[in-house]
Amino acid sequence: MAETESKPVHFIRQIIADDNKSGKFGGRVHTRFPPEPNGYLHIGHAKSIHLNYSMAVEHGGQFNMRFDDTNPSKEEQEYVDSILRDVKWVGGDWGDRLFFASDYFEQMYEYAEQLIKKGKAFVCDLNADQMREYRGTLTEPGRNSPYRDRSPEENLDLFRRMRAGEFPDGSRTLRAKIDMSSPNLNLRDPVMYRIIHAHHHRQGDKWCIYPMYDWAHGLEDSIERITHSLCTLEFENHRPLYDWYLDELGVYHPQQIEFSRLNLTYTVMSKRKLLELVQGKYVRGWDDPRMPTLSGLRRRGCTPEALRAFCEDVGVTKFDASIDVGRLENAMRDDLNRRAQRRLGVLRPLKLVIENFPEGQVEMLDAVNNPEDPSAGSRQVPFSRVLYIEQEDFMENPPKKFFRLAPGQEVRLRFAFFVKCTSVVKDDKGNITEVRCTYDPATRGGESPDGRKVKATIHWVSAQHAVNAEVRLFDRLFNVAEPDRAPKDPKAAASFDYKQNLNPNSLEILQGAKLEPSLGSAQEGERFQFERLGYFCVDSDSKPGAPVFNRTVTLKDTWAKEQAKEKGAG
273 is in an annotated binding site: no
262 is in an annotated binding site: yes
**Residue 306 CB partners (closer than 8 Å, separation 6+):** 331, 332, 334, 335, 336
261 is in an annotated binding site: yes
Number of H helices, E strands in the chain: 14, 27
Question: What CA–CA distance (Å, rounded) separates 504 from 510?
Answer: 16
Per the annotation, the verdict on 299 as an active-site residue is: no
Contact present, 520 and 488 (Cβ < 8 Å): no
168 is in an annotated binding site: no
43 is in an annotated binding site: yes
Q: Which residues are 256's β-sheet partners? A: 229
543 is in an annotated binding site: no
Question: What CA–CA distance (Å, rounded) separates 480 from 390?
Answer: 31
Compute φ and ψ for 353, nearest 5 degrees: -110, 125
Q: Give the full edge-to-edge strand order of the sheet including 349-354.
A: 457-458, 410-413, 418-426, 432-440, 349-354, 386-390, 461-462
514 is in an annotated binding site: no
48 is in an annotated binding site: yes
- Cα-based distances in Å from 385 to 12, 104, 265, 364, 430: 63, 71, 47, 13, 24
- Cα-based distances in Å from 434 to 350, 392, 459: 6, 13, 16
Among the listed residues 44, 37, 149, 28, the one whose alpha carbon sits nearest the alpha carbon of residue 85: 37
AA letter at 193: Y
Question: What CA–CA distance (Å, rounded) separates 197 from 138?
Answer: 33
Question: What CA–CA distance (Å, rounded) separates 245 from 257?
Answer: 17
3-state secondary structure of 497: coil
**Residue 440 CB partners (closer than 8 Å, separation 6+):** 417, 418, 419, 420, 448
**Residue 494 CB partners (closer than 8 Å, separation 6+):** none
502 is in an annotated binding site: no
Write down the H helix ranges in 397-505. 490-494
162 is in an annotated binding site: no
38 is in an annotated binding site: yes
Contact present, 532 and 553 (Cβ < 8 Å): no
269 is in an annotated binding site: yes
332 is in an annotated binding site: no
37 is in an annotated binding site: yes
Per the annotation, the verdict on 434 as an active-site residue is: no
47 is in an annotated binding site: yes
385 is in an annotated binding site: no
Kindly name the residue from 36, 236, 434, 470 that is annotated as catalytic. Answer: 36
Kindly name the residue from 97, 120, 261, 532 that is annotated as catalytic. Answer: 261
Per the annotation, the verdict on 271 as an active-site residue is: yes
Q: Measured between alpha carbons, how far apart are the two ends of the chain, in Å?
A: 48
Kindly name the residue from 150, 175, 188, 271 that is annotated as catalytic. Answer: 271
Question: What CA–CA distance (Å, rounded) separates 44 from 35?
Answer: 12
Among the listed residues 355, 303, 345, the one whose alpha carbon sits nearest the alpha carbon of residue 328: 303
Query: Residues forming the annotated binding site for L-glutamine?
Result: 68, 213
Annotated binding site: 36-38, 42-48, 68, 213, 232, 261-262, 269-271
Binding positions for ATP: 36-38, 42-48, 232, 261-262, 269-271
Catalytic residues: 36, 261, 271
